[in-house]
Chains A and B, each alone.
Chain A
Amino acid sequence: AQSVTQPDIHITVSEGASLELRCNYSYGATPLFWYVQSPGQGLQLLLKYFSGDTLVQGIKGFEAEFKRSQSSFNLRKPSVHWSDAAEYFCAVGASSSYKLIFGSGTRLLVRP
């Protein structure tokens, strides 16, 4: 069965520092998604990858790169803002993209 692994449960970065959140997937890689969840809120789509250019741009200055050779779809941001503190979820479409399999999430803390 398809699966998604987010190896980091928590990550703490200083405001202004760069960020990379890891996501590894099993076979049947696409489509891939990153969602963000602020405390007490629902999930907001950050970016998506279906096919084509392996570097995708999303909202709020985030980007992700699909690397088939490494089975990864890591999320990056060059300079983190305090408002980026949230929980981030990577997800893959299971046989079709209306059935998502989620990773366990990475909680991002931002130091002032």
Chain B
Amino acid sequence: NAGVTQTPKFQVLKTGQSMTLQCAQDMNHEYMSWYRQDPGMGLRLIHYSVGAGITDQGEVPNGYNVSRSTTEDFPLRLLSAAPSQTSVYFCASSLDRDGKNIQYFGAGTRLSVL
């Protein structure tokens, strides 16, 4: 079972470039989320989705777009990368069972914006 798969693992961008971070899960989880991890700040929620076709903003959504056309995939788009978006990005998925929702994380994408 692959779990949560993120691609690419590493990426270097120039300021102003665009790219899409991919996230796929094969556990049929309804919930998916994107977090960014910065030194000394833990992980902060960027966007999340509670099901196909439904997305919402988290704590730090500016500069990022998401869509959820299928249950399996939840891509994160940077339309015009900025150095402040240099970070490690984690995707997570989860399923609500009896009111308990436990998130499982991918291995992360390390992004540098020059």
Contacts and interface: CB of A to CB of B under 8 A. Distances in A.
Contact of B103 (A41, A98, A104): A98
A98 B48 CA distance: 8
Contacts of B33: 98-100
A98 B104 CA distance: 10
A104 B42 CA distance: 4
Nearest to B9: A40
A89 interface: yes
Interface residues of A, number: 26
A90 to B, nearest CB: 9
Interface string A40-75: 011111001010000000000000000000000000
Contacts of A102: 35, 42-44
A6 B41 CA distance: 11
A97 B48 contact: no
Contacts of B40: 9, 104-105
A45 B102 contact: yes
* Interface residue SS majority, chain A: strand
Interface stretch (B14-22, B64-72, B75-83, B105-113): B105-113
A42 B42 contact: no
B100 A50 contact: yes
A99 B58 CA distance: 8
Most B CB within 10 A of own CB, among A44, A99, A102: A99
Contacts of B103: 45, 97-98, 100
11 contacts: A6-B42, A31-B100, A43-B105, A44-B105, A45-B102, A45-B103, A96-B101, A97-B102, A98-B101, A103-B42, A105-B42
The 9 closest A-B pairs by CB, nearest first: A102-B42, A97-B101, A98-B31, A43-B105, A42-B107, A102-B43, A42-B105, A104-B42, A98-B101
